[in-house]
A and B are shown apart, each in its own frame.
Chain A
Amino acid sequence: MTPLVTLESKAVPLLRDNIDTDAIIPSREMRSVSKDGLADGLFAGWRYTAIGGRDIDPTFVLNQPESKGAEILLGGSNFGCGSSREHAVWALAEYGFRVVIAPSFSPIFQGNCIRNGIAPIVLPRDTVETIAAGFADGTPVMIDMPSCEVRMGLAVFRFSMEDEARTMLIEGADAIELTLRHRTEIESFFARDAAVRPWIYLAD
């Protein structure tokens, strides 16, 4: 995973509430048993003029020239709700997004972001709207993960994120590798627990 320490980018506003993962990547766009090849299907229902088509809808914000190269997406509350499909995050990442800022996230989507090097940053709705207002004139937004700050011009917005998530993002760490360092503790937990709850432990 590519570490995410600081980043400066335009921030694309998509401030609807309840943007679900079906909208981020529709079922029909998940065509292979793979994490790749999903960027084309990102927001397909909104980005293209017809379901299943590829004709660009110029009114959709991602298709506007100001959005080109943006790495920050601004969303409404309960962002990423619905299906747990991680393809939504893989599609966002492949398209080039590293940060999503929203008033709240679906818990599963939030976890998926962290596992894929995307920072899900929670800020109050009016702050998100303030940042969104800078989009039209191309004001860059600065993300500073170590200091938990989003900066735009002279404005500084502080956010909070659990240390575990923030460290994983900053270090670009492989969670499995970190956890496997505790393998002995894990195996001894199972050995102890099997005496207490034998009904859980089926024969391998």
Chain B
Amino acid sequence: MTGAADGGPLTLAEKIWSAHRVTTLESGAEVIAIDRLLLHERTGGVALKSLEEAGRTVMHPSRVFATMDHIVDTFPGRTDKTLMPTGTAFIVSTRESAKRHGITLFDIDDPRQGIVHVVSPEQGIILPGAILVCPDSHTCTQGAFGGLAWGIGSSEAEHVLATMTLRMNRPPDMRITVDGVLREGVTAKDLALHLIAALGSNGAKGHIIEFAGSAVSALDMEARMTLCNMATEMACAGAVIAPDDKTFDWLEGRPYAPKGKVREQAIAAWRALYSDEGAVFATEHRFDAAQVRTMVTWGNSPQHAAPLGAPVPVDALSKADQQRAVDYMAVTPGQPVAGLPIDAAFIGSCTNSRISDLRRAAAILKGRKVADGVKAICVPGSTQVKAAAEAEGLHEVFLDAGFEWREAGCSMCFFAGGESFAPEARVISSTNRNFESRQGPNTRTHLASPETVAASAIAGRIAPVSEIAA
């Protein structure tokens, strides 16, 4: 491994990692300082409970934040009660533990509440050069800010609570360079699905992915979050994008971001956060942005994605796996999924629930109606996003079109709090996972951008924006 010791060129991830090395263990693993730990009620509460049972305390509560997103329901007027009879216990336990340990909690009625990967950037909790972990697989979303961020389990979260460190071997580096310009109407979500389809669900093989290239730099911060969010669907150990002026501007004035002179000092340090010329990556991939089309998934893994009008591949997988996916999804190899009638449309999740996502979807929905028989739901990613959307009147666009307009949370990205779509419902969804029964019993989830979800909701079938804009 190259490193600061021999003065060679460093990758961005390596620079951040080295700055957090507390000590190297006999095993070769390292004790790495953690700057921020985020918790939510589903996996965080159990970590805090386990810590207490072991008679341990939280080492640095000021650098630990918790929110309610996974189990809390998203119906207007919600309380601690959930459809899932035992959901309340997760909410109450997390609240009480957070209070006992002096951890900042964005509770159900807090204007800062929302999906953990939406609220952390909003509050300036993730910062360039920082290491942030959370017992949630989509934590890599926050690498969009030029910090290292990855998902951990509850035991690792307990380890961070007690020691503010993790014991780890440094993951290898992968760079995915996307040059060129994305076509009109092609989004970061489409780019993410394109990359996952090309590299496979195990394509990142435990590497930290650095997304680079002109097409990545051109993305705004929210689009960068969408791209980094989906990196976990290729089995990455984290994702990161070098921070730039867009990053620094986006963070300005956020509650936990540095201000005044400290901000100037921070920005000076953050400007050194890039991969040096000649830095060696264990694996490199290159893509041309112009090749990316609007994408939709046809199977039960995010890698089962194809351009919207393209046919479902005939032999993408092993025979048994292909048959299973095709049978489960009730799709036909050789035929496109475009045109399949849908039962439901969902806009939300840590992938695509930010204000820019809602604006783009609303632009398509304005003056139109959701097709008869389609259950359509929009769940803003945070209470703050919801308020911003309402200030612009977007909620009226969604409601007038026939969408439900919900409180912030993870919602029906999965069986959150026990709510689900109807058995075998075909759902077009701006979320990140199309796994079997993820959104309800035997639901058939098709992942797509918020634009495609909006267009499909109006058409009543999986459809591109061009089809309804005519």
Contacts and interface: CB of A to CB of B under 8 A. Distances in A.
Nearest to B420: A28
A84 B149 CA distance: 14
A201 B320 CA distance: 52
Contacts of B318: 17
A77 B262 contact: no
A84 B151 contact: yes
Interface in B254-290: 256-258, 262-263, 265-266, 269
Interface in B275-308: 300-301, 303
B28 interface: yes
23 contacts: A17-B318, A20-B433, A22-B438, A28-B415, A33-B46, A33-B93, A81-B233, A82-B137, A86-B46, A86-B154, A104-B235, A108-B151, A112-B153, A116-B155, A163-B27, A164-B25, A164-B29, A164-B167, A176-B162, A186-B163, A197-B269, A199-B258, A204-B61
A18 B153 contact: no
Interface string B137-168: 10100000000001111111011001111011
B348 interface: no
B257 to A, nearest CB: 8
Nearest to B36: A200
A204 B101 CA distance: 11
Interface stretch (A4-12, A135-143, A177-185): A177-185
Interface of B is mostly: loop
A154 interface: no
B14 interface: no
Contacts of B321: 16-17
Interface of A: 16-18, 20, 22-23, 26-28, 30-35, 45, 51-52, 77-78, 81-86, 89, 104, 106-108, 110-112, 115-116, 162-164, 167, 175-176, 178-180, 182-183, 185-186, 189-190, 193, 196-204
A112 B155 contact: yes
Contacts of A115: 153, 155-156
Contact of B60 (A77, A167, A176, A204): A204
B163 to A, nearest CB: 5
Contacts, number: 194
Contacts of A51: 423, 437, 441-442
A186 B169 contact: no
Interface string B332-376: 000000000000000000000000000000000000000000000
Contacts of B89: 32-33
**Among A30, A112, A164, A199, which residue has the most Cβ atoms of chain B within 10 A?**
A199
Interface in B8-48: 19, 22-23, 25, 27-29, 31, 33, 35, 42-43, 45-46
Interface residues of B, number: 89
A85 B153 CA distance: 6
Contacts of B54: 176
Given A33-B89, A164-B25, A164-B28, A111 B436 contact: no
A112 to B, nearest CB: 4
A185 B163 CA distance: 11
A84 B135 contact: yes
A172 to B, nearest CB: 14
Interface in B381-435: 414-416, 418, 423, 433, 435
B86 interface: yes
Interface stretch (B187-195, B201-209, B213-221): B201-209
Contact of B167 (A33, A82, A175): A175
Contacts of A108: 137, 150-153
A118 to B, nearest CB: 12
A30 B301 CA distance: 22
A106 B152 CA distance: 11
Q: What are the nearest 7 A-B pairs in CB distance? A: A199-B258, A164-B29, A115-B155, A86-B153, A112-B153, A164-B27, A27-B415
Contacts of A35: 46, 50, 154
Given A32-B86, A199-B127, A163 B28 contact: yes
Nearest to B440: A51
B296 to A, nearest CB: 18
B152 A111 contact: yes
Given A18-B201, A176-B159, A33 B153 contact: no
A182 B62 contact: no
B63 interface: yes
Contact of A33 (B45, B202, B438): B45
B237 interface: yes
A86 B415 CA distance: 17
Contacts of B317: 17
Contacts of B25: 164
**Among A16, A77, A186, which residue has the most Cβ atoms of chain B within 10 A?**
A186
Given A27-B414, A107-B237, A197-B269, A180 B163 contact: yes
Nearest to A83: B137
Contact of B43 (A23, A86, A178, A198): A86
A83 B136 CA distance: 7
Contacts of A201: 63
A163 B27 CA distance: 5
B167 A179 contact: yes
B22 A186 contact: yes
Nearest to B266: A199
**Among B159, B171, B256, B418, which residue has the most Cβ atoms of chain A within 10 A?**
B159
A197 B272 CA distance: 13
Nearest to A16: B321
Given A27-B415, A34-B46, A78-B201, A107 B33 contact: no
Interface string B79-95: 00000101001100110
Interface in B75-132: 84, 86, 89-90, 93-94, 102, 127, 129-130
Interface in B441-456: 441-442
A112 B435 CA distance: 21
B127 A200 contact: yes
